[in-house]
Amino acid sequence: MLDDAALDLILRKARTHNAWRDRPVTDDDIRRIYDLMKWGPTSANMCPARFVFVRSPEAKEKLAPALSSGNLDKTMAAPATAVIGYDVRFFERMDYLFPHNAAMGDIFRNDPAAAEDAGFRNGTLQGAYFMIAARSLGFDIGAMSGFDKGRVDAAFFAGTSVKANFLCNIGHGDESVLFERHPRLDFDDACRFA
Ligand SMILES: Cc1cc2nc3c(=O)[nH]c(=O)nc-3n(C[C@H](O)[C@H](O)[C@H](O)COP(=O)(O)O)c2cc1C
């Protein structure tokens, strides 16, 4: 198993960051994060998540009007912001992703509600894998759901079958401005054996 330092890095001491140190996040950094997170499991290996990495000032300007006021400044300041979406037509790639059972894709092709449900569930999981992968490679992240989905879809996914799920700033966080950490539910509050 991982040692304590690794467990601290990805979960126990990892924080959601709102301020960023002046260190860039390169194309290569983002590719390394993707190439690690892509191995996380999804139902029937459907891999519905799609990512747009917003880094240029022009792309940040496209994103800005969609952000809630509390998410605006930190996102404009972040070295990179992932728009994490999910493709409701993920089944178009299942010949490649799930080649031993081509009929699986047709189940979703013929049932848009099931495709939405599975796409959202598995795309969200992949977003979580993305956050853990980024942390395990030494980056900090700050996820956000405070934004206008319609505006983000229009700005980044127009003409596609991809829908925005959540946003995630990526960089090297400034620990000096973190809030005190909030508690989590204890095992007995959140779990039971059956
Ligand atoms: C999917 C998701 C959406 C979130 N949305 C926002 C948001 O819109 N704005 C914000 O300031 N924080 C947002 N957060 C941050 C959470 O409030 C934060 O992760 C939580 O309080 C735990 O903080 P910690 O990681 O520092 O312990 C979001 C986190 C997640 C995972």
Question: pLDDT by residue (tens digit) across 130-184?
Answer: 999 999 999 999 999 999 999 999 999 999 999 999 999 999 999 999 999 999 9
Provide the angle, in degrees to the nearest 10, between the axes of the packed helices 27-37 and 112-136: 120
Give the pLDDT confidence score for residue 166 in this predicted structure: 99
Q: Find, among 145, 179, 181, the residue nearest to 164 by Cα.
A: 145
As a whole number of angstroms, the distance between CA 137 and CA 121 comes to: 25
Cα–Cα distance for residue pair 33/96, rounded to 1 Å: 22
Could you list the beta-strand ranges (E) of the chain. Answer: 49-54, 80-87, 140-144, 162-171
- Span 42-56, pLDDT tens digits: 999 999 999 999 999
**Cβ of residue 13 lying under 6 Å from some atom of ligand 1:** no
134 in helix, strand or coil? helix
pLDDT tens by residue, 43-91: 999 999 999 999 999 999 999 999 999 999 999 999 999 999 999 999 9
Average pLDDT over residues 80-106: 96
Q: How much distance in Å is there from the Cα of 94 to the middle of ligand 1?
A: 32
Number of the ligand 1 atom closest to the C-alpha atom of 144: 5
Report how far Cα 60 is from the mean position of its chain's Cα atoms. Answer: 17
Q: How far from 45 is each of 76, 85, 105, 119, CA to CA, in Å?
A: 34, 17, 11, 11
Rounded CA separation 131/42 (Å): 16
CA angle 89, 147, 54 (to 5 degrees): 70
Residue 75 CA to residue 169 CA, distance in Å, equals: 6
* Model-wide pTM > 0.85: yes
Q: Does residue 102 register a pLDDT over 90?
A: no
Q: Is 166 in the pocket of ligand 1 (CB under 6 A)?
A: yes
